[in-house]
A and B are shown apart, each in its own frame.
Chain A
Amino acid sequence: MARDDRQLTYKEAAAEALLQAMEKDEKVFLMGEGVDNITGVYGQVLPAYKKFGPSRVIDTPISENGLTGLAIGAALDGMRPILIHQRNDFMLLAMDQMMNQAANLRYASGGHHQVPLTILSFVARRPGEGVQHSHSLQSVFAHFPGIKVGMPASTVDAKGMLLSAIFDDDPVIILEHRHNPLYDKKEYVPEEYYETPFTANVVVSGQNITIVTISIALVNALEACGELNSKGIHPEVIDLRWLRPFDINPIIRSVKKTGRLMVVDTGWKICSISSEIIAQVCEYAYNYLKCPPRRITLPDAPCPASQFLEPYYHPTTEMIIKTIRETMV
């Protein structure tokens, strides 16, 4: 099929991953609040529901922690459950089951118990969503050994990372980003089954500065590159993709080449993945740094609901351009 004929949105690519996973392995099933209806999960689960019906695509009670435990129980019996939460903010209700249980059970059983559980959720950034519907909590989840955390930042990875997660034998959290221009962005997506490796992705090669992005920040960084290139600045852009496993090597290699580092994250700054990236670069490539590392994150406050304040809250392309020009002086 010609590449032009396979243009899917990020959402459609993820929906295709769910469908293909269920076709590939009958042990895969889906659970979540409202997964079986058109408004549930933005329709992302509908293709799977239409094909497999309510016995394998289960609409559930509103019980985040209980559902996670239930999914772990099914996983201990050899199933591959996918648990969907409409927003990642709700996942905090399931911290015991995700972190005390799913993340620890393999270790605590000397390797005997495997929990092939996928937890799929969304950063639902949008004006009006406010303090409990729009946060981006990846750094919280990535603190714990034993559970993988990924944030697809491209349409191709929306499919491939989800499939990697579903067929991994350990628990994996996938946080999609619902904001545009990412969620409705169309790209060529291969029709066949494929998995995205558990590595960071060097998206653009450059030599002046290393920009590490998390999730939708990649879109901003790529946009910034257009403007910066015209000014003779050529950043190297690395999409981290997975917070766990944490793939620092391409970042270290890049900083050794560019001598400069900037991290752009959709989360907060303190005790975060951006802290970790900068700390490890300082540990392993300190002598290569020509100037202090920089980072663009959320301000140290919850997300306001007001459409008059919300636009100032998230990292923008302009912030990236401005910070890089300061750094390059």
Chain B
Amino acid sequence: MRKLYYDMLRIRLVEEKLAEWYQTDLIKAPVHLSIGQEAVAVGVMAALRPEDKIVSTHRCHGHYLAKGGDLKRMMAEILGKATGCCQGKGGTMHLFDDKAGHVISIPLVAASIAFAVGLALSFKMQGENKIAVAFFGDGAVEEGIFWESLNFASVHHLPVLFVCENNLYATHSPILRRQPSSEIVSRIKPHNVYCQRLEDANNVLEVRRISQALVEITRQNQPCFLEACTYRLREHWGPGEDWHLGYRTREEGEYWVAKCPFKQLRQVFDQEGIPQSEINAMERLINEEIDAAVKFAIESPPPSREELLSEVGG
């Protein structure tokens, strides 16, 4: 339970540092913050084994950190440095850390869902008892490749867990303008995929509990689908809030602020008698790690000009 809080707090503090960087001239990239959605990444990851593999999207920082991705290489990548996980050539939307099992992140909506199914096919062909997890948003469900991937996983009984982070908006378009209902799982079930919907996926203990059950089923080569309802508190990309744009209401936001993942878990801490001082200690530890990563990223060299044409292939 402490680790769940620690992992969520690490994501939050890292992303707040990125938001702070935005006030300076350091970042030249559209950074997609997952502030408010940390419980999904941390809860699902807590149900996985280290050898299980995940794929992610443009909003990948939380998944990367929760799966155990290297913070220094992440920060360096966001600053376009040679020491970044992609040597500066992928950027914030392409984070990966193979050692940690985060295979890849892909910003083109839904494209990486098919990769997860391919990973699962490979695991099954090679007789490995691993599962693949695809993280994606509610907008991805509107893409053809999502359904192609789901269909294949079902027909071939592949060990893949689909995790849909339903945050109600694709950029600025609300889900009911894009889909027949704001609830997704009933459209998934006919594919013989085992489905669960979590109305409050900001409750990390619930996310972990449901994920553990789904992961166990997935490991038996039965694909599963988790609809995790959550909410993005910041802009689609960028550091700030965006209530002034008018595409969503502050009241709606406040409903989700009340369901803050940290607040919910702290209530449990209070019941269990875990003192605030422990949380303060966590914060100090994480800030030390962030300071070291920031120093590493800022002091790292940029890629040399020759890198422009290296690793093109083809």
What is A's interface to B at a CB cutoff of 8 Å? 29, 55-56, 58, 60-61, 63, 65-79, 81, 96-97, 100-101, 103, 105-114, 144-148, 169-171, 244-245
Distance, CA A75 to CA B123, complexed state (A): 11
Distance, CA A111 to CA B88, complexed state (A): 11
- Looking at the assembled complex, report how far the CB atom of A135 sits from the nearest CB atom of chain B, in whole angstroms: 22
B123 to A77, Cβ gap below 8 A?
yes
Q: Does B103 contact A (CB under 8 A)?
A: yes
Distance, CA A6 to CA B145, complexed state (A): 44
Interfacial chain A residues near B87, Cβ < 8 Å: 110-111
Binds A, one of B110-118, B181-189, B221-229: B110-118
Distance, CA A20 to CA B104, complexed state (A): 32
Q: A97-B114, A110-B85 are in contact. List 13 more A-B contacts (CB 8 A).
A: A29-B125, A61-B155, A63-B151, A67-B114, A70-B149, A76-B104, A77-B103, A77-B122, A103-B313, A107-B312, A109-B90, A110-B88, A171-B314
Please judge, given known A-B contacts A73-B121, A107-B312, A170-B313, whether A68 and B114 are in contact too, CB under 8 Å: yes
Q: Does B281 contact A (CB under 8 A)?
A: no
Distance, CA A96 to CA B112, complexed state (A): 11
Question: Of all chain B residues, which has the CB nearest A115?
Answer: B313
B125 to A79, Cβ gap below 8 A?
yes
Q: Which of A69, A70, A111 contacts B311 (CB 8 A)?
A: A111
Distance, CA A65 to CA B119, complexed state (A): 16
Q: Does B234 contact A (CB under 8 A)?
A: no
A109 to B119, Cβ gap below 8 A?
no
Question: Of all chain B residues, which has the CB nearest A70?
Answer: B118
Taking each of B96, B118, B119, B311, which has the highest tally of chain A beta carbons within 10 Å of its own beta carbon?
A: B118
Enumerate 28 A-B pairs (CB-CB under 8 Å) in ascending A order.
A61-B148, A61-B152, A61-B155, A63-B145, A65-B148, A66-B145, A66-B152, A69-B112, A69-B115, A70-B117, A72-B114, A72-B115, A73-B114, A74-B119, A76-B118, A78-B122, A100-B111, A101-B108, A105-B104, A107-B311, A108-B90, A109-B89, A109-B94, A110-B88, A110-B307, A113-B96, A144-B314, A169-B313
Question: Of all chain B residues, which has the CB nearest A73?
Answer: B118
Interfacial chain B residues near A113, Cβ < 8 Å: 96, 104
Interfacial chain A residues near B53, Cβ < 8 Å: 77
Distance, CA A65 to CA B145, complexed state (A): 6
A147 to B314, Cβ gap below 8 A?
yes
A112 to B86, Cβ gap below 8 A?
yes
Taking each of A29, A60, A73, which has the highest tally of chain B beta carbons within 10 Å of its own beta carbon?
A: A73
B118 to A74, Cβ gap below 8 A?
yes
Distance, CA A276 to CA B86, complexed state (A): 32
Interfacial chain A residues near B106, Cβ < 8 Å: 101
Distance, CA A81 to CA B122, complexed state (A): 10
**Total A-B residue contacts, Cβ distance less than 8 Å:** 148
Distance, CA A68 to CA B151, complexed state (A): 14
Please judge, given known A-B contacts A69-B114, A70-B118, A100-B111, whether A63 and B148 are in contact too, CB under 8 Å: yes
- Looking at the assembled complex, report how far the CB atom of A199 sits from the nearest CB atom of chain B, in whole angstroms: 15
B117 to A73, Cβ gap below 8 A?
yes
Taking each of A61, A66, A96, A169, which has the highest tally of chain B beta carbons within 10 Å of its own beta carbon?
A: A66
A145 to B314, Cβ gap below 8 A?
yes
B84 to A110, Cβ gap below 8 A?
yes
B149 to A66, Cβ gap below 8 A?
yes
B119 to A73, Cβ gap below 8 A?
yes
- Looking at the assembled complex, report how far the CB atom of A197 sits from the nearest CB atom of chain B, in whole angstroms: 16
